[in-house]
């Protein structure tokens, strides 16, 4: 079974993300989901972004690094949207990563390290109706990361918007979210 570290999106550690973590736990995985917002959640992306800016992204990245440092090196890093920045950064720079799952976002290679670490599989999920993912360069970055990883998968979901896999988000799509969950579980069984 895998040991997983999940980083939440800009709306915080929402009930939908807690449910996602619980589904992975129910399958036998050890799952850590630190709350980088100290219990605060936000109804909109804009409100969450304002909070993240007020806390400071450097401070949030430090909290994420501290959460990882308290755990074994052999981790699968999972990130949703803004949480992808920490999941991808740690998968690329912290020794021992066993995999990465990136949802709703992807940074280009070179953002955190020149390439993708050898032997670290990656799975990336994005909604085809998500303007953040499709129109701001994330899908191109995702293709680049998958190619560099060698053992990578990119899944896009027709009609799905930003945060579609979070049951508490406005763009939630139950069918697509169930498929994401199954694909992530399949990925975790092989890392």
At residue 167, the pLDDT reads 97
At residue 125, the pLDDT reads 98
At residue 42, the pLDDT reads 97
At residue 126, the pLDDT reads 98
Task: Return left, alpha or beta for 110; rule: phi > 0 is left, psi -120 to 50 is alpha, else beta.
Answer: left
Q: What is the 3-state secondary structure (H, E, C) of 103-159?
A: ECCCCCCCCCCCCCCCCCCEEEEEECCCHHHHHCCHHHHHHHHHHHHCCEEEEEECC
Residue ranges of the chain whose pLDDT lies below 70: none
Domain 3-190: give its CATH superfamily. Alpha/Beta hydrolase fold, catalytic domain (3.40.50.1820)
CB burial of residue 55 (10 Å; 0-12, 13-18, 19+): middle
Write out pLDDT tens, residues 132-167.
Answer: 999 999 999 999 999 999 999 999 999 999 999 999
Alpha-carbon distance of 129 to 147, in angstroms, equals 23
At residue 48, the pLDDT reads 95
User: What is the model's pTM?
Assistant: 0.97
């Amino acid at each position: 079974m895998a040991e997983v570290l999940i980083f939440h999106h800009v709306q915080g550690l929402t009930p939908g993300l807690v449910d996602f973590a619980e589904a992975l736990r129910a399958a036998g995985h050890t799952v850590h989901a630190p709350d980088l917002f100290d219990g605060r959640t936000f109804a909109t992306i804009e409100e969450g972004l304002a909070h993240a800016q007020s806390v400071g992204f450097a401070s949030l990245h430090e909290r994420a690094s501290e959460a990882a440092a308290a755990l074994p090196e052999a981790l699968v890093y999972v990130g949703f949207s803004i949480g992808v920045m920490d999941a991808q950064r740690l998968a690329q720079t912290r020794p021992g990563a066993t995999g990465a799952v990136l949802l709703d976002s992807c940074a280009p290679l070179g953002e955190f390290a020149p390439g993708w670490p050898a032997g670290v599989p990656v799975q990336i999920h994005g909604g085809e109706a998500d303007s953040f993912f499709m129109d701001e360069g994330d899908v191109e970055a995702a293709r680049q990361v998958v190619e560099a990883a060698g053992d990578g998968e990119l899944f896009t979901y027709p009609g799905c918007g930003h945060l579609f896999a979070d049951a508490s988000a406005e763009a939630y799509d139950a069918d697509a979210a169930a498929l994401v969950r199954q694909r992530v579980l399949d990925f975790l069984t092989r890392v």
